[in-house]
Structure 1
Amino acid sequence: MNRKIGFYSLVAIVIGSQIGSGLFILPAALAEYGHMSLLGCLLSGVGAIFLSIVFGKLARYYTGVGGPHVYVSNVFGFKYGFFTTWSYWIISFVSTTVVVLTAFSYITPIIENSIGKSLSKEAILVLEIFLILLFMILNLLGSTTSARMEMVLSLLKTLPLVILPIGCLFYFDTTHFTNGTFPVGSFNKILSNSTLISFWGFIGLESGTTPSENVKNATTISRALVVGTTLVAIIYFGISIVVMGVIPLTALQGMDAPFMAIAQLILGGNWHIPIAIAVFIVCLGTLNAWIFVSGQIAASAAKINMLPYLFTKTNKYGSPHYSILASSLGIIPFLILTLNNSLKKQLLDLIDVSVIIFLLVYALSTCSYCKLLWDNRIARTKSNCIIGLLAMLFSIWMIVSAMSLFHLMVVGVIIASGIPSYLYMRNKSLISQEHTTTVTDISDKKSV
């Protein structure tokens, strides 16, 4: 029997999809913008919360099958829905690949120290694939099994995020926020850049909408999205303040692992090992959440004829096994490409592109919400209109801030790669409609 996902499990999925390895480098990435970066961090959190409210209201309107692609398809039609689905699904492979790479970049030195020799690239690749297959099997055992594992991983990775900042309070120095170099540029440029960097940590805020049919009710989705995203915003903002208050901004700039530096400062000794394990656990939670979400994306898209019907089929645990298999195995080719260092660098550069595509998905989803408001299918109240307007302005501002000619070209290529599949699925959909119409006509004639 396929049991439904509860509120706390869904909150864990929402948090797990957002809190990844980026948390551990976010303060260092923001340091070059000085204390003003905290305003950008705060603004990104507020924008993410508004977007989570929008997705929550969309989930309450469209019950049963969920996800940004479903909302866009229902409001703007097959074409927009398909390319939203395709881009959203494909880019999840790239994002998940980087999570796996980051996980092993931290855990590999520990493994090498324990066995007394270095691991080859091929050996690391085997371990990476093994990890993917492990979480693929976990997700094949059903949505509730995956959700419970996400709760465990969320609790494990939350502990260092709470304990370490508490220890930092004894080393906190407010002068770190005012001493050092200050960024050059206009206030808007500094604010938009720092907000964009901070928003990377909120990618995945919509994840709670994709398993819609496996959740107890639409209200659970709405609450989990807002609560989960709010908690993530509090964690990010709190961690940024604490780290910047312990490490001077000039020293923090360009630092690869600020958490390890803090552990050495506060605890000394070999505390880099538990920190590395903590990062690994964080990545495991993100990997589990994204394999789950990617599988649900494909399954829900297939139910509205955006992807092959095969993806809708479920196993005895109620898990869309073909969808999960395709979404999990799709990560492996990208991992193989990373054996080549130049290709690995190119793959990591695609993360910027993935953020833009996610932002485009969020903007289109917000447009869908605004259209439903305009048609009065969602109550056109003052608060609903303000939420929609602010979420839309935030999405557009972030896209404009992030976009460059290179990003525009790569985004165009990724979207265009779906054209063959689009033509096939559209043709299949038209044939199905013609068949239905013909059968109806014959039935009507017989009745006459």
Structure 2
Amino acid sequence: MVVGGMIGSGIFVLPAQLAPYGWTSIAAWIVGIGGAMLIAWVLARLTAAMPDATGVVAMSAHGLGPLCGVLVGWSYWIGIWSANAIIALTAVRYLAQFSPMIGATTLAQALSATVLIWLMTLLNLGGARLAGAFQIGTTVLKLVPLGAIVLILAGIVWQGGAGRPIAQHPAFAWHGLTPALTFAFYALVGFEAASVAAERVRDPTRTIVRAMLVGLVLTGTLYLVVCTGIIFALPTAAVANAQAPFALFVSTYWGAGAGLATAGFAAVAAIGALNGWTLVQGEVPLGMARAGLLPRWIGRTNARDVPVAILLVSSTLASLLILSNATRSLGGLLDFMLRLTSAATIWLYVGACLTALVMRVAPIAAALGLAFAAWAMVGAGFEAIGLSLALMLPALPFYFLRNRLT
């Protein structure tokens, strides 16, 4: 669950976002993995202290009060549908390797990503069984591009760098560490997945700790190797300007055909991730509504047990987020989405660390984890932080008027 929750679409675009940071990107991965392990330890200890809780939102509600739980859950929901915007854009960038027209301009990318979001929404309106069947067919495929990169990198090392393009990369710079950390941390989000299933796990006190820490180290190391390998095996400008960095890397070493095949696998992987998170974007507010924390209409489902209203609202917001930023540059569009999603999601970890401090669970790790979360938040920039807070505010009237807004 930990590895599956972490490996999504972020890694398929991050080489382009991190390439301008050069050697600083390596430090960002190392610091990001270390900080994520701190927060994972806090979550594991909270899970042991509250084994009946159904996730971080429930833990925050228990430790900080229902209103804080709603704000944390609402922010996490924002992070989900804004992540769906990123995933859709990622899929479009790789599909554009087959049909350049859909990725020729920022507007074309935005429109194509919006169409993809609504195709996955229609699929999920058919029920969890249909969406789940689609998910099964795409899950394993996301590992194929990662495996291809590892094989090429192993070949480069084996040959002592023969055939590797000669390129200079930016030196380490302290001022670049904070923004680079925010990008790297986005790809690590998802390690909290194991805590959600605590009530179904035998000996959760030990099992959840091991699952989170081992899964985080394995996935983080894979990301470090893959992302850094792509960045340092090609010229910085080529990676930074690449719409599909994985396809560019594979085509450079294995030819255009292999590059297109990699693009196809990456696109399918991203579409599969979009399908899965489209399902989740309805389930998070549904759970809060059924717990009495949000209006009952949010929890209403159709005959297939699909929360139609909130699913449509979520996809509408994701679409508006993409379209409202379509005037940005091609790179700027994805850059802003990544920073907003990181900011919105980090509030979940802030809530977890504050809960641990209040309940005196792993207080030292919680304090350090809170400091790390604040550091990663700063890297998102004031625009993304401000928008994440503004999007959180609508939760207040929904919470206080939940018994009237039926």
Conserved? CA contact 1:291–1:327, under 8 Å: no
Indicate if the aligned counterparts of 1:208 and 1:221 stay in contact, CA closer than 8 A. yes
Question: What TM-score results when the alignment is normalised by the length of structure 2?
Answer: 0.80
Matched, 1:104 2:120: no
Partner of 2:123: 134
Q: Cα deviation per residue 1:266-311 (whole Å; 9 max; x = unaligned)? A: 2113223212212112213422432343344223323432123466
**Structure 2: tracts of 5 or more residues without a match:** 102-107
Rg larger for? 1
2:33 is the alignment partner of 1:55: no
The answer to whether the Cα contact below 8 Å between 1:296 and 1:320 also exists between their aligned partners in 2 is: no
Which residue is 2:104 aligned to? none
Specify whether residues 171 and 268 from structure 1 end up closer, same or farther in structure 2 by C-alpha distance, changes over 3 A only. Answer: same
Matched, 1:363 2:350: yes
C-alpha distance 227-155 of structure 1, shift in aligned 2 (>3 A): farther
Tell me: CA distance 1:264–1:163, structure 2 relative to 1, closer, same or farther (3 Å).
closer
Residue from 310, 330, 347 that aligns with 2:313: 330
Percent of residue pairs identical: 22
Partners of 1:120 and 1:33 in 2: how far apart? 25
Question: Structure 1 residues 157 and 124 mapped into 2: Cα distance closer, same or farther (>3 Å)?
Answer: closer
Partner of residue 237 from structure 1, selected from 208, 218, 224: 224
What do residues 43-76 of structure 1 show as CA deviations (whole Å, max 9, x unaligned)?
1112122222322332333334423222221111
User: What's the offset of the Cα at 1:166?
Assistant: 1.2
- 3-state DSSP class of the match of 2:293? coil
**Contact 2:51 2:198 (C-alpha < 8 Å) held by counterparts:** yes
**What is aligned with 1:407?**
384
Structure 2: how far apart are the matches of 1:306 and 1:264? Answer: 51
Matched, 1:167 2:145: no
TM-score, normalised relative to structure 1: 0.74
- Are 2:19 and 1:42 aligned? no
Instruction: Indicate yes or no: 2:369 matched with 1:391.
Output: yes
Which amino acid is 1:333 matched to?
Answer: T
Counterpart amino acid of residue 258 in structure 1: P
Q: 1:257 to 1:344 in 2, by over 3 A?
A: same
Maintained 8 Å contact 2:152/2:253: yes
Please report how far the alpha carbon of residue 207 of structure 1 lies from its aligned counterpart in structure 2 after TM superposition. Answer: 3.6
* Aligned position for 2:398: 421
Task: Verify the 8 A CA contact 1:157 1:281 in the aligned structure 2.
Answer: yes
**Paired letter, 2:289:** A
CA distance in 2 between partners of 1:157 and 1:288 (Å): 13
CA-to-aligned-CA distance 1:177-215 (integer Å, 9 cap, x gap): 996253585x2x2322322221121233324444666x4
- Taking the TM superposition and a 5 Å limit, the aligned residue runs for 1:191-230 are 191-210=177-196, 215-216=200-201, 219=204, 221-230=208-217
Structure 1 residue runs of 5 or longer lacking an equivalent are 1-10, 114-118, 379-383, 430-448
Question: Structure 1's 196 and 151: CA in aligned 2 closer, same or farther, altered over 3 A?
Answer: same
How many residues were matched structurally? Answer: 390
Decide whether aligned partners of structure 1 residues 208 and 302 sit closer, same or farther in structure 2, where only a CA change above 3 A counts.
Answer: farther
Q: Give the secondary-structure state (helix, strand or coil) at the position aligned to 1:271.
A: helix
CA distance in 2, matches of 1:218, 1:27: 38
Asked whether the equivalents of residues 28 and 255 of structure 1 are also in contact (C-alpha less than 8 Å), the reply is: yes
Residue 256 of structure 2: SS of its match in structure 1?
Answer: coil
How well do the aligned residues superpose, as a CA RMSD in angstroms?
3.7
CA deviation map 1:20-49 (0-9, x unaligned)? 332123223222222232121111112122
For the pair 1:182 / 2:170, whether they are aligned, the reply is: yes
Deviation track 1:205-254 (CA, whole Å, cap 9, x = no partner) reads 324444666x4457265544334333320211110232234214454343
1:7 aligned residue: none
Does the 8 A contact of 1:93 with 1:330 survive in 2? no
Answer yes or no: is 1:293 the counterpart of 2:263. Answer: no
Specify the code of the residue in structure 2 equivalent to 1:102: T
